């Protein structure tokens, strides 16, 4: 009776450690990469190659003063960072790192990730509204418009994968790519997914909700200390999640020769993360109207074409 | 059964707060809390797809749009500034509540009094899909058509007159 609960509790602890460690590592990875791409060394003072810089940052954030704006909606202001992080963490529960290496192998795993991660946008609106600041509110509103618009092509691009695999279980989706990665026949869906996922996780060039040149820091302008750290943690969790889904749904998941499956999974995921950071270093931020019309008038039709093609090939 | 009791109680608490609070944004968030509890109820009843679709569509999309409008319109106004409730709203609201309760009881009482076992895989994605595209194809398509018409209507209404 106690056994499954014990297993779940252990899995939750391991996942929590993994998410924290990954977020910290990603911060270093991104800063180092951006530095290299911009011909500067990046963090290099704390620890070997600056590797301990995120640890120092986390320490700093936890001891910083926690500021509550005077006219903020206090309960909501306190709740919003948790609302942002908890769904991100919950999504990790169904993520398979290798065959059988998953906390909970749901038969609708992919849908679970999509459904749970949509809750995060509510947190961004709540944070923007509760801060009672015009910059935060505008950032929250942009987040809402952006995530609603890019959710649609994101889900539709994955429907092609689900159609081809015949299942929403992530393990089955990986197994269906034993002979050919879905990125090859569904290259259109893959491209749409990458763009939409970058926008969903509010990454540059789609980081309008926090566009610092216009909105100070967007929805988390008024946040400091630990609460700010939670938003940060959620954002980096979503970067990893987006790359992990790209790996599982389009790049054959953990399958690959010689190396153990977990290594293959991480290598492919980090390759996608590298690409996402590369985008940030290369492209300037786009305008909100360009963003929305691009989502609805280009990505949405393209994802529909992808579904049509997949359906057509299944018939033939 | 204990789980159901807790969830049902939570759903009711969220629902009551949603109606009772004066703040429109809080109200919307309480409604989302209610939706999430409902989704968990669906999942405990074996309808995982329905539960997740509930979160994806209602909590993730419909309520985001609601919040978008409410947050924009209510920014900078205190809760007391929104004015007293219109007098005719209260009786009308009670009447609507009683009516929907009656409809619900009328529709489900028979099933509650003589419970029958659900068919195997009831609530699974395959079962739901088959039901939607065979038995309930006509109402399903009619709903889709209605939504499409509403969408086109909105686009026509807000179009620039040039």
- Would you tell me how many other CB atoms lie within 10 Å of the CB of residue A67? 13
Q: Do A114 and B26 touch (CB under 8 A)?
A: no
**A280-306 tens-digit pLDDT:** 888 877 877 888 888 888 888 888 888
Which residue in chain B has the smallest CA separation from A152?
B61
**A92-151 tens-digit pLDDT:** 888 887 776 676 777 788 888 888 888 888 888 888 777 777 777 787 788 888 888 888
The one-digit pLDDT tens for each residue of chain B (162 residues) are 788 888 888 888 888 888 777 777 788 888 888 888 888 888 887 778 888 888 888 887 888 888 888 877 765 555 544 555 566 777 888 899 899 999 988 888 777 777 677 776 777 778 888 888 888 889 989 999 999 999 899 888 887 766
Q: How far is CA B66 from the centre of its chain?
A: 12
**A16-61 tens-digit pLDDT:** 888 888 888 888 888 888 888 888 887 878 778 778 888 888 888 8
What are the tokens at A53? Answer: 């810089």
Given its phi and psi angles, is residue B26 left (phi above 0), alpha (psi -120 to 50 degrees) or beta? alpha
pTM, two decimal places: 0.83
Nearest to B72 among A107, A126, A141 (CB): A141
**A82-91 tens-digit pLDDT:** 888 888 888 8
For residue B71, the chain A residues in CB contact (below 8 A) are 125, 128-129, 137, 140-141
Q: How far is CA B112 from the centre of its chain?
A: 22
- Please give the backbone phi and psi of residue A257, each rounded to the nearest 5 degrees, phi first: -80, 160
Cα gap A73→A268, rounded to integer Å: 42
What are the tokens at A272? Answer: 């996608």
For residue A147, the chain B residues in CB contact (below 8 A) are 64
Query: Would you call A128 an interface residue with chain B, using a CB distance cutoff of 8 Å?
Result: yes
Query: Residue B71 in 3-state DSSP?
Result: helix
Quote the pLDDT of residue A209. Answer: 65
Nearest to A108 among B29, B52, B59 (CB): B52
- Would you tell me how many other CB atoms lie within 10 Å of the CB of residue A263? 13
- pLDDT-derived band at A1 (thresholds 50, 70, 90) equals very low
Cα gap A282→A153, rounded to integer Å: 23
What are the tokens at B152? Answer: 């086109």
Q: Count Cβ atoms within 10 A of the Cβ of residue B74 and give its class: 0-12 exposed, 13-18 middle, 19 or more buried.
A: middle
For residue B50, the chain A residues in CB contact (below 8 A) are none
Quote the pLDDT of residue A171. Answer: 78
Cα gap A102→A238, rounded to integer Å: 18
Cα gap A186→B63, rounded to integer Å: 32
Cα gap A26→A131, rounded to integer Å: 28
Contact criterion met (CB below 8 Å) for A59 and A81 = no
Q: Do A111 and B52 touch (CB under 8 A)?
A: yes
Query: Would you call A126 an interface residue with chain B, using a CB distance cutoff of 8 Å?
Result: yes
Report the pLDDT averaged over residues A161-166. Answer: 83
Between the CA atoms of B145, B149, B155 and B158, what dihedral angle is there, to the nearest 10 degrees? -150
What was the ipTM of the complex prediction? 0.75
- pLDDT-derived band at A254 (thresholds 50, 70, 90) equals confident
Which residue in chain B has the smallest CA separation from A155?
B56
Closest CA to A111 of A245, A310, A266: A245
- Would you tell me how many other CB atoms lie within 10 Å of the CB of residue A73? 18
Q: For B85-91, which contacts have Cβ atoms below 8 Å and span 24 or more sequence positions? A: none
Report the pLDDT averaged over residues A169-186. Answer: 79
């Amino acid at each position: 009776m106690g056994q499954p609960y014990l297993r779940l509790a252990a899995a939750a602890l391991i996942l929590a450690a993994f998410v924290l460690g990954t977020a910290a590592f990603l911060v270093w990875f991104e800063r180092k990469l951006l530095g290299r791409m911009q011909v500067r060394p990046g963090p290099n003072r704390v620890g070997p190659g600056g590797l301990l810089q995120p640890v120092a940052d986390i320490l700093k954030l936890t001891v910083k003063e926690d500021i509550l704006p005077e006219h903020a909606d206090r309960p909501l202001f306190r709740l919003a960072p948790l609302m942002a992080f908890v769904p991100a963490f919950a999504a990790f529960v169904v993520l398979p790192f290798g065959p059988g290496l998953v906390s909970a192998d749901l038969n609708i795993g992919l849908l679970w990730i999509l459904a749970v991660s949509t809750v995060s946008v509510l947190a961004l609106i709540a944070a923007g509204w509760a801060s009672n600041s015009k910059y935060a509110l505008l950032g929250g509103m942009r987040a809402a418009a952006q995530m609603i618009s890019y959710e649609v092509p994101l889900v539709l691009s994955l429907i092609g994968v689900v159609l081809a695999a015949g299942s929403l279980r992530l393990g089955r989706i990986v197994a269906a790519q034993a002979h050919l990665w879905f990125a090859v026949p569904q290259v259109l869906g893959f491209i749409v997914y990458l763009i939409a996922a970058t926008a969903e996780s509010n990454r540059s060039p789609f980081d309008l909700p926090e566009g610092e040149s216009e909105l100070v820091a967007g929805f988390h302008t008024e946040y400091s200390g630990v609460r700010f750290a939670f938003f940060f943690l959620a954002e980096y969790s979503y970067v990893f999640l987006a790359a992990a889904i790209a790996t599982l749904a389009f790049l054959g998941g953990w399958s690959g020769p010689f190396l153990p499956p977990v290594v293959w999974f991480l290598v492919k995921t980090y390759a996608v993360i590298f690409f996402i950071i590369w985008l940030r270093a290369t492209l300037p931020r786009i305008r909100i109207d360009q963003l929305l019309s691009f989502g609805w008038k280009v990505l949405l039709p393209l994802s529909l074409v992808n579904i049509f093609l997949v359906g057509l090939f299944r018939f033939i | 059964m204990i789980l159901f009791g807790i969830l049902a109680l939570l759903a009711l608490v969220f629902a009551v707060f949603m109606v009772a609070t004066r703040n429109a944004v809080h109200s919307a968030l309480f409604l989302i809390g209610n939706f999430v509890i409902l989704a968990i109820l669906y999942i405990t009843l074996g309808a995982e797809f329905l539960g997740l679709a509930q979160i994806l569509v209602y909590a993730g999309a419909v309520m985001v749009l609601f919040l978008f409008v409410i947050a924009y319109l209510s920014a900078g106004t205190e809760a007391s500034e929104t004015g007293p409730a219109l007098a005719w709203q209260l009786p009308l609201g009670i009447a609507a509540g009683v009516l929907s309760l009656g409809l619900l009881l009328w529709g489900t009482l028979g099933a509650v009094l003589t419970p029958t076992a659900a068919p195997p895989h009831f609530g699974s994605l395959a079962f739901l899909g088959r039901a939607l595209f065979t038995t309930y194809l006509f109402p399903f398509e009619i709903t889709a058509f209605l939504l499409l018409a509403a969408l086109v209507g909105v686009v026509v209404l807000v179009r620039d007159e040039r």
